[in-house]
Amino acid sequence: MIPINACPCGRNKWYTECCEPNHKNVKQAKTAEDLMRSRYTAFTLGKGDYLFKSQSSQTRKSTDIKPIEKWAKSVQWMKLDVLNTTKGGENDTEGTVEFNAYFMEGGKLDTIHENSLFTKENGHWVYVDAV
């Protein structure tokens, strides 16, 4: 049984010791996977400010976070499965994380399947885009 305060990212940790430190300071994510998991959790909590801060300045499409927050809050997030990672460790400068994010929208189960590219920008991990 998953505890009620378990982190939505799927790790067997409490939110307060898993993704919350990253949400308080984007520079806390030690690996690309840590950042990806914290971004998934930010979607589940509707934290548009974190999604903005954790995306590369090179690929941010807008400074308006309201549409993404609205959508993220309108769906029911079910679970995250990390399928594969390449590089993205503490000493790397880039890496990829392939995942499936499951959510319910309009009564239907849907999946985001993505292989995401992450790089270090100003010394911390950021999401670049799908590859």
The residue to which tokens 């799927």 are assigned: 10
What percentage of the chain carries pLDDT values higher than 90?
91
pLDDT at residue 86, as a whole number: 98
| 8 A C-beta contact, residue 108 and residue 38 | no
Q: CATH number of the domain at 15-130, please?
A: 3.10.450.50
Report mean pLDDT in 10-residue bins for the chain, 131 residues: 76 95 96 98 96 95 87 96 98 98 97 98 96 95
Q: Residue ranges of the domains in the chain?
A: 15-130
Q: Give me the amino acid identity at 80.
A: L
